[in-house]
Amino acid sequence: MNNALLIGLAAVGALASGCGNLERSRDTGNPAVAPVTLAQQVCSNCHGLTGNATSPNIPNLAAQPEAYLVAQLTYFKSHGRRDPAGFEYMWGLSRSLTDKQIEGLGAYFAAQTHERQPIESEPARIDAGKAIFDNGVPQANVPACGTCHGPEGKGAATFPRLAGQHADYVVKQLLVFQRTEERPAGAIMKTVAHDLSPQNIRDVAAYVQAMAGS
């Protein structure tokens, strides 16, 4: 067998192997890797296989509105979202994703079933948070959270699902909106969060984690 034939057979074998590995690839820079593979091989490391994160500092993605997920990945890719921890990981992971992969990731996590979070706060705090979610804080001109996020906190379009989100993550993001310009696309939330007190923030975060949703 001549050298040319050996080289050709080796190349075919390498290509076949590469194609087979696409189903387990973690290469976020390869446009041929399917979104479901990226979700299960890459995103799952932090967000869980079904988008239900175990760490309280990492957001649950399961059952989030597809449009919201697509928008956030797009913001990370374009560096339009700069909140710490988010950009430290997500800028690098998203920089080479194609629009098709981003759309597929959004569809994958939107279709997952949300798993209810444990109720960790005392009833009084949860009740206070429910009052803010349902009615806002009238004396501070803060509108009800349910106005945009839905009465059951399930979100819609580019408004995220809050029901069952980790309280620690909600607190962190409300402070980002309140104190920084790191999420410019969330200009509405900056206005909303501006007059929330630290206790308001902790209360409403406790309530949304305790929400059942579906």
Is residue 12 classed exposed, middle or buried when 0-12, 13-18 and 19+ CB atoms within 10 A define those classes?
exposed
pLDDT, one tens digit per residue, over 103-152 is 999 999 999 999 988 888 899 999 999 999 999 999 999 999 999 999 99
pLDDT, one tens digit per residue, over 25-73 is 999 999 999 999 999 999 999 999 999 999 999 999 999 999 999 999 9
Bridge partners of 156, per DSSP, are 159
pLDDT score at 214: 60
User: In Å, what is the CA distance from 23 to each residue of 13, 30, 34, 123, 201?
Assistant: 17, 12, 8, 46, 42
Tokens of 89: 């990981």
Q: How confident is the model at residue 6 (pLDDT cuts 50, 70, 90)?
A: very low
Query: Helix, strand, or coil here: 142?
Result: strand
Q: Which domains does the chain have, with CATH numbers?
A: 26-110 (1.10.760.10), 123-210 (1.10.760.10)
pLDDT score at 15: 40
Tokens of 150: 């839905």
